[in-house]
């Protein structure tokens, strides 16, 4: 299955896209991995990235070591079409009482800052924390999209030209599509 752009919106000369597909097939400068603090890429998106990209992604991650929740780190992308993998550590959902929203926002912002510092032009995010970490999908979609828009509005001279949200399963995709429509298709 090839990845398919479903929706897009412009922020000045930049673009945000909602994509249905497999993030490991994204042909962008960097894909974002939904990682845990120890960068042990076993299950979910992280496991798929290492399986398809090669074990060198895990080896590079092991050299980095511990990354606190709300932060991110960068490695090469092995055999993947992307040039880099940015490992964003999102929060485990604990009912919303442990600053999960702020930590998720921080993980997205950390990823965008790394891409900006490396002068990357395109980045693709999965639904960080919405899988095995249990973050509510609608809430995840709102935070990721709002954080991306805010970053582009506040950094008009960033090298980042395109921010993609690549979603695989229907419920998560639908949550992002709904949030996107609410944000950009106000009639």
Predicted pLDDT of residue 186: 63
What's the pLDDT tens digit per position in 44-83? Answer: 889 999 999 999 999 999 999 999 999 999 999 999 999 9
Bridge-based pairing of strands 84-89 and 30-35 is parallel
pLDDT band per the 50, 70, 90 thresholds, residue 187 = very low
Q: What is the pTM of this model?
A: 0.95
What's the pLDDT tens digit per position in 93-104? Answer: 999 999 999 999
Domains, in order of start, for the chain: 4-185 (3.40.220.10)
Residues 6+ apart with CB under 8 A from 59: none
């Amino acid at each position: 299955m090839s990845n398919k752009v479903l929706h897009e919106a412009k922020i000045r000369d930049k673009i945000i896209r909602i994509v249905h597909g497999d993030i490991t097939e994204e042909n962008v400068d960097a894909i974002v991995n939904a990682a845990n603090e120890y960068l042990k890429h076993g299950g979910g998106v992280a496991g798929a990235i290492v399986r398809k990209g090669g074990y060198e992604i895990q080896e590079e991650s092991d050299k980095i070591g511990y990354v606190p929740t709300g932060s991110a780190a960068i490695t090469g992308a092995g055999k993947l079409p992307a040039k880099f993998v940015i490992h964003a550590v999102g929060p485990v959902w604990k009912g919303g009482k442990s600053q999960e929203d702020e930590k998720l926002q921080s993980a997205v912002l950390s990823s965008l800052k790394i891409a900006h510092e490396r002068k990357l032009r395109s980045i693709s995010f999965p639904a960080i924390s919405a899988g095995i970490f249990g973050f509510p999908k609608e809430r995840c979609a709102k935070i990721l999209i709002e954080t991306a828009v805010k970053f582009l509005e506040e950094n008009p001279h960033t090298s980042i030209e395109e921010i993609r949200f690549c979603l695989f399963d229907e419920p998560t995709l639908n949550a992002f599509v709904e949030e996107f429509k609410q944000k950009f298709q106000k009639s």
